[in-house]
Amino acid sequence: MTYSNINYEALFQQSIDRLKSEGRYRVFNDLERKAGSFPHAQSHITGKTVNVWCSNDYLGMGQHPKVISAMSEAIGRYGAGAGGTRNISGTHHAMVTLEETLAELHNKEAALVMTSGYVTNEAALSTLCSILPDCIIFSDEYNHASMIHGIKSSKAEKKIFRHNDIEHLEELLKAANPLRPKVIAFESVYSMDGDISPIAAICDLAEKYNAITYLDEVHAVGMYGDHGAGVAEREGLMERLDIIQGTLGKAYGVMGGYIASTRTIVDVIRSYASGFIFTTALPPALAAGANASIRHLMESSEERKRHQYNVGALKDMMLKAGIPVMPSQSHILPVLVADPVLCKKASDMLLNQFDIYVQPINFPTVPRGTERLRITPTPNHNHAMMFELTRALVWVFERLGIKPDMSVLDKAA
Ligand SMILES: Cc1ncc(COP(=O)(O)O)c(C=O)c1O
């Protein structure tokens, strides 16, 4: 038998070259975060201290003394790792405590922690939609990649509704066989546009058409509601949602993902989800750190208040300076550039000339032609820093001639 002479290396290189020619090759900054001086970090690319404006450690909890001491103490007490999968090695006690806290936070019967928000979405949605016989899943078109992958691997029939479009969702629900099980999967805060979904209206439809709801609150937990349980808490809707999913890696400043739901739903995911069963559990130190962070933000609204004040102040400042801030309803302030090459150049100029770090966001994270800088102020940024960022953005946008037409956003939707 003869085999063709395939040049594997060249095939891989061609894919990389394609990204480079489209201006969307990703370069990660080599950063050294420093506990105690966030949002500042040392860049090993420029060799200087930079101000980070694109972190998802939204409240700076990654350096909170309570979180650091809970993690250090847990390492000293329990050691480094979890010792294996929960299926093989049992559940370490720090995880049991964390799951009790999460159930309490969301006012649900139970919670289940996995290794990341991504893994949780993938594992929970694929399991849920394959266990329900002949299920149809209704998914918002802007749902995160992890939800899309979970839905795909369930092999259930899927219906995509236009982003946040209640009428379209109802049209699809109405057309579906009333006897088939239905799941509606959506997010509260959409992380690239910063808009918020109509949760109450979606719950109304779920009740009317007898569907269950799966809400991803990844960008909202810790941030909204009196106890930081998310937008559903802020709007008094937690009880109406069947499954709430969240992360421990953004506002809580650590790592991990979870669902909170009824005891039966949690048990079914625990018992069947491959992404939960066949992987090593989160180490005790991460569970203890996350627990300390959640507990702190359940009691303290201080960080949320300062954060929301800063978001409003920066948004105002940028809009007054003519920066094309997209119409966000949350703490995420995307600034439209609408060109992948200019977006990367703007990010490089901010880093090299102003020691400001904002990562460019390009396709496929956002639709082509809507490339943007995604700015996330924290409670640790002050007025002087906001002023510096706004001035730098004005300078860079003028230099590069960036004047995007906001109507590209309507066309992309
Ligand atoms: C909406 C959404 N869900 C899930 C995830 C994954 O969460 P994690 O970073 O904890 O894996 C992300 C990540 O950014 C996200 O934006």
* Per-position b or e across 56-69, b if 16+ CB within 10 A of its CB: bbbbbbbbbeebbe
- 222 in Cβ contact with 250 (< 8 Å): yes
**Residue among 57, 191, 247 whose CB has most ligand 1 atoms within 8 A, to mutate:** 247
Q: Which atom of ligand 1 is nearest to the CA of 257?
A: 10
Which residue CA neighbors atom 8 of ligand 1 most closely? 117
Side by side, which strands form the sheet with 360-361?
333-336, 372-375, 360-361
C-alpha distances (whole Å) from 2 to each of 5, 11, 361 are 9, 20, 45
Per-residue HEC secondary structure of the chain comes to: CCCCCCCHHHHHHHHHHHHHHCCCCCCCCCEEECCCCCCEEEECCCCCEEEECCCCCCCCHHHCHHHHHHHHHHHHHHCCCCCCCHHHHCCCHHHHHHHHHHHHHCCCCEEEEECCHHHHHHHHHHHHHHHCCCCEEEEECCCCHHHHHHHHHHCCEEEEECCCCHHHHHHHHHHCCCCCCEEEEEECECCCCCCECCHHHHHHHHHHCCCEEEEECCCCCCCCCCCCCCHHHHCCCHHHCCEEEEECCCCCCCCCEEEEECHHHHHHHHHHCHHHHCCCCCCHHHHHHHHHHHHHHHHCCHHHHHHHHHHHHHHHHHHHCCCCECCCCCCCEEEECCCHHHHHHHHHHHHHHHCEECCEECCCCCCCCCCEEEECCCCCCCHHHHHHHHHHHHHHHHHHCCCCCCHHHHHHC
- For residue 22, count other CB atoms closer than 10 A to its CB: 13
Using the predicted structure, report yes or no on whether residue 135 has a pLDDT greater than 90: yes
- Give the C-alpha separation, 389 to 386, whole Å: 5
Reported as a single tens digit per residue, the pLDDT across 345-362 is 999 999 999 999 999 999
Q: Which atom of ligand 1 is nearest to the CA of 190?
A: 1
- For residue 285, count other CB atoms closer than 10 A to its CB: 23
Residues 6 or more apart whose CB falls under 8 angstroms from that of 38 comprise: 52, 55, 57, 60, 62, 63, 378, 380
- 375 in Cβ contact with 381 (< 8 Å): no
CA nearest neighbour of 32 among 357, 352, 374: 357
- Give the C-alpha separation, 224 to 310, whole Å: 15
Q: Is 159 a catalytic residue?
A: no
Q: Measured from the CB, is residue 117 less than 6 Å from ligand 1?
A: yes
Q: Residue 73: what residue type?
A: E
The predicted pLDDT at position 405 comes to 82
The predicted pLDDT at position 242 comes to 98
Q: Measured from the CB, is residue 115 less than 6 Å from ligand 1?
A: no
Q: Measured from the CB, is residue 374 less than 6 Å from ligand 1?
A: no
The predicted pLDDT at position 280 comes to 97
Using the predicted structure, report yes or no on whether residue 330 has a pLDDT greater than 90: yes
Could you tell me the distance, in angstroms and rounded to a whole number, from the CA of residue 194 to the centre of ligand 1? 14
Reported as a single tens digit per residue, the pLDDT across 44-54 is 999 999 999 99
The predicted pLDDT at position 233 comes to 98
Reported as a single tens digit per residue, the pLDDT across 294-307 is 999 999 999 999 99
CA nearest neighbour of 209 among 148, 166, 248: 166
Residue for token pair 């037409």: 405
Could you tell me the distance, in angstroms and rounded to a whole number, from the CA of residue 171 to the centre of ligand 1? 29
- Give the C-alpha separation, 346 to 360, whole Å: 8
Q: Measured from the CB, is residue 57 less than 6 Å from ligand 1?
A: no
Q: How confident is the model at residue 408 (pLDDT cuts 50, 70, 90)?
A: confident
Q: Measured from the CB, is residue 390 less than 6 Å from ligand 1?
A: no
Using the predicted structure, report yes or no on whether residue 14 has a pLDDT greater than 80: yes
Q: How much of the chain exceeds pLDDT 70, in percent?
A: 99
Average pLDDT, the chain: 96
Q: Which of 250, 315, 344, 345 is catalytic?
A: 250
Could you tell me the distance, in angstroms and rounded to a whole number, from the CA of residue 248 to the centre of ligand 1? 10
- Give the C-alpha separation, 404 to 371, whole Å: 10
Q: How confident is the model at residue 413 (pLDDT cuts 50, 70, 90)?
A: low
Q: Measured from the CB, is residue 55 less than 6 Å from ligand 1?
A: no
Query: For the purposes of burial, counting CB atoms within 10 Å of the CB of 26, is it exposed (0-12), middle (13-18) or buried (19 or more)?
Result: exposed
Q: How confident is the model at residue 24 (pLDDT cuts 50, 70, 90)?
A: confident
CA nearest neighbour of 187 among 142, 153, 234, 241: 142
Q: What is the dihedral of CA 152, 156, 162, 164, to 10 degrees?
A: -90
